[in-house]
Amino acid sequence: MLLLLQIASVVAVALYLIRWRSGVSRRNAQSWDSLMARLRPDWSAHQLSDHFLWQEGLSATPEDAWQRMEGPKGLWVMYQNARVMLEMADYAAKNSDTVDRLLLETLRSDAMHIRVCVLMALAQYAFTQASEGVRVNAFRAAQMYTGMAARMTQLLQENAAGMVPDFVAAM
């Protein structure tokens, strides 16, 4: 029995290391185009703000935002796009010496906060449907998302200006 447990442990560690290595290889092979292609345009946050991608803030109430983001669908798109924008920030840091480090740290923090807020809202939604708490968390996530998108636009303008139109179209 102990031998089987040891073998299972070694196999689990080996599988984890293989998966980790393939993820590192995939991230090293990325380009701006491949990252841009991973952004999900299923739902657009343009409906939430008049100046989306250029400044922070929403021009919608929590109730309006919930309806405009199509509930959990918009939350899930924000969750996935936040990860892609995080990878875009990492790519810029790896491939440019002129990237503002404070901007990168802010983008990383934004991505993590958005993902946590979205997961909280989705968990609440699973238990209480569209209650006030769910709408408030979704609104909070959308506010952070618009701020992150504005900062990502700034990063792209400074480091990959040719990608800004594609980014705007994808968002």
CA distances from 147 to 35, 88, 141 (A): 19, 15, 10
Residue 47 has what pLDDT?
66
Residue 15 has what pLDDT?
94
Residue 113 has what pLDDT?
93
Residue 16 has what pLDDT?
93
- Please name which of 71, 53, 10 lies closest in space to residue 150, comparing C-alpha atoms: 53
Going by the DSSP 8-state scheme, the letter that residue 42 receives in this structure is S
Classify the C-alpha dihedral 106-112-118-123 as positive or negative.
negative
AA letter at 91: Y
Q: What contacts 120, CB < 8 A, 6 or more positions away?
A: 137
Q: What are phi and psi of 66, to 5 degrees?
A: -60, -45
Its pTM stands at 0.77
DSSP-based three-state secondary structure for 120:
helix
Kindly list the domain boundaries of the chain, sorted by start residue: 1-30, 32-170
Rounded CA separation 128/132 (Å): 9
pLDDT in tens, the chain (171 residues): 788 889 999 999 999 999 988 877 777 778 888 888 888 887 776 666 666 666 566 667 788 888 888 888 989 999 999 999 998 888 888 887 888 889 989 999 999 999 999 999 999 888 887 678 888 888 888 888 888 888 888 888 887 778 888 887 777
Residue 94 has what pLDDT?
85
Residue 133 has what pLDDT?
81
Residue 92 has what pLDDT?
85
Residue 13 has what pLDDT?
94
Rounded CA separation 74/118 (Å): 10
